[in-house]
Amino acid sequence: MKRKLFSLSLALLAVLTVIPPAAADMIWETYDSFYEKHREECNYVNRRYQLEGYGGTVTVLTAPGGMSKSTLDNGLQGTIQFTWEEKETAWGYLCWVDDSEVEGWVPMDDLSLVYDSHAFKEDHAAEIVSGEPAAVDFQEAVVYSYPNGPTWETTVREDKDYLPFSEAFTEIYTDEAFLRWGYVGYYMGRRDGWVCLDDPMNIKLDTAVVPVTPSPAQERGSVTVKAGPQLFPVAGGLVAAVVAVTAVLIVKLRKRGKQS
């Protein structure tokens, strides 16, 4: 019995040594059959998008080019977890859509990226200063998606055993009101957040208005719509030609009437 217990203990210890810590950055994966077959060809995204299909809806499919699962209205937002590309077409695995439980594949052309921390960092790369951690004295903070953008639903409390706030903020951005913002890429299961270091509990700093960029499908649709007026010069020319021919016919008929 003692030998069995000793062996079990060694086995348990071996398992524990290979299990990653709870704070590790875990990647959620779907049980979608298409994803399972093409896992190595898919790219991890995990960003929010707004549905913006040209016809006012977006069709969710069982697989790229597969059967229809559901049709969702424009304006809803969901997370694209993975993308897969086929020749010139990119497909995204859509999940966690507002109030819908539908998951499936949609053309990326039918989506508009919701402005987020990644986009903010790209737009303000030259204004973000990286260096030593900022000295802070708070233990709880409101977290924003990006400086002066929307807030997360809950605040974040400091966990000194995990990562003290005094060591968390190494990338700093200063906004137009001279408030400093600290970026944290990952903290206790949450990713890509910003904290106002000078006013950490203020929930009313959402002052940015970011327009929704038209999706590629909508842009193509707008081109199609705008192409209509180009027909007017042709139609005008046809009308002018008809008028001219009619005038000639009238003149000839009058001449014939006088001769008779």
Look at residue 242 in the predicted model and tell me its pLDDT: 42
**According to the model, what pLDDT value does residue 190 have?**
80
**What residue type is 224 in one-letter code?**
T
- DSSP label at 100? B
Residue with the larger pLDDT of the pair 235 and 168: 168
Q: What pLDDT score does 152 carry?
A: 84
Question: Tens digits of per-residue pLDDT, 94-145?
Answer: 998 887 778 999 999 999 999 999 999 999 999 999 999 999 999 999 999 9
- Does residue 54 or residue 231 have the better pLDDT? 54
Residue-wise pLDDT tens digits, 241-257: 444 444 444 445 454 55
- Residue 164, pLDDT > 50, answer yes
Of the candidates 107, 95, 118, 78, the residue with the CA atom closest to the CA atom of residue 30? 95
pLDDT, averaged across the chain: 78
How far lies 77's CA from each of 26, 64, 72, 74, in Å?
A: 23, 20, 10, 9
pTM surpassing 0.75? no
Amino acid 156: pLDDT = 92
pLDDT in tens, 174-202: 999 999 999 999 888 788 999 999 999 99
CA distance readout (Å), 89 to 73, 190, 206, 226: 22, 31, 36, 24
Q: pLDDT grade, residue 232 (50/70/90)? A: very low
Predicted confidence (pLDDT) per residue in 15-32, tens digit: 333 333 333 445 556 678
